[in-house]
Amino acid sequence: MYRYRLPNWLYKVVCVIERAILPILIFQLIRTLFLTTTLDLILLCLLIMLFIVFYLEWL
């Protein structure tokens, strides 16, 4: 995998982001359901794509 070729500090950053993305995604989903704006929808789509990338281990 590509992530194992990263420097140790960058690998740790990727791991932290991978662990934190799901709670942030859930919070953004709840926020988007109550206060829908264009920025919220764009941010939610980006977070969903990032979650899929981590889930499928593309990074």
pLDDT tens column, 16-46: 999 999 999 999 999 999 988 999 999 999 9
Q: What is the pTM of this model?
A: 0.82
**Greater model confidence, 38 or 57:** 38
Res 5: pLDDT: 85
Q: Select the more confidently predicted residue: 25 or 4.
A: 25
Tokens (6 digits) for 35: 């206060």
pLDDT at 1 over 70: no
Distance of CA 27 to the CA centre of its chain: 12
SS3 7: coil
pLDDT of residue 3 exceeding 80: no
